[in-house]
Amino acid sequence: MNNKEALQRLLQWKRKQIDPVELGWPKRTGRGRRSTGLSQAQVAQGLYVSERTYAALERGDMPAPTAEFLDNVARILRMEERERTALYVYSLGHEPPIPMDPMAGTNVAPAWQRAVSKVSGQPCYVNDLAWNVLAANDDFIAMFPQQPGTPLRLPERNLIRWMLLREDAREHHLVDWEKRWATPVAAQLRTAVAAHPDSADLQQLDKEVNDDPVVGPIYRNHSIAYIHPDGDTRVMRHAGYEPEPGRPDTRDRCCDRHAPSQLGNVTMCAAQPFGSPGARFFFLVFDPFEPAR
């Protein structure tokens, strides 16, 4: 099946799912066979275009429909996010630049929270488009310095705020902070603020980071462009690291205030929950530094 056929079948199927009466059209009466759902003429009228124009889209003969036109079609035909994505792919050959749901990327299905919490032996978490942690397992939380005798907890729900603004991150936990962490993370934040101007959380982060005397100058330096850390390896201290049986304990203290931690490389493996564009799922692979021989 080529894109034209796939587009035609998608649009015809969606038209059949909608009762015209629900959109204010009079109920069909009289004799004769009546097809179910919306007609092409009714869709065209809802779009304020001619029937010929809409029919060209449905046949796959519209060479370059605008994003606005496709979004209006998706609205009239009550498409879900995945159906709208298919509409774009069949019509233009690429996915939509932004999700249809304004709340997309701010939450994930409860199944993600259950799945992440059940992972053991591998740090992992899910954050939303503004880096608020939505789900995390104990292995991830244990990477951060903890208060003795208290339950495991994150030092900050928002990871950007912790990475860029908190002393523990800048001075102790994230090694070579300015070069390896602050510069790419600040560039990520700039990109996210531009991509999601309506996010109150991102706007607040933008202000806090810009106004901070330490990271503000780094944030305002636009010479680095950066989108995501998938595959990146950076140096950090793992506060919850336990050496494997038979391996030497190479943990040490970064300062008198913190308990011993393990210096090593962390590699970030990122993916996106398809049902929440903008959210990110991370596996963190930690490799401790070997002792000097």
Q: What is the pLDDT of residues 91-130, one digit of tens each?
A: 998 888 777 776 778 888 899 999 999 999 999 999 999 9
pLDDT at 15: 93
pTM of the model as a whole: 0.75
Q: Mean pLDDT over all residues of the chain? A: 89
Rounded distance, CA 293 to CA 282, Å? 33
Give the side-chain half-sphere CA count within 13 A for 205.
32
User: At residue 251, what is the residue type?
Assistant: R
φ/ψ of 264, rounded to 5, equals: -175, -175
Higher pLDDT pick, 158 / 63: 158
Q: In the chain, what are the domains?
A: 3-92 (1.10.260.40), 110-288 (3.30.450.180)
**Residue range 150-167: mean pLDDT, rounded:** 93
Rounded distance, CA 274 to CA 106, Å? 13
Q: Please determine, for residue 32, whether its predicted confidence score (pLDDT) is greater than 50.
A: no
Q: What is the pLDDT of residues 189-244, one digit of tens each?
A: 999 998 888 899 999 999 999 999 999 999 998 887 777 788 899 999 999 998 88
Exposed e or buried b for every residue in 221-238, given b needs 16+ CB within 10 A?
eeeeeeeebeeeebebbb
Q: What is the pLDDT of residues 76-96, one digit of tens each?
A: 999 988 899 899 999 998 888
Token pair of 287, please? 């490799």
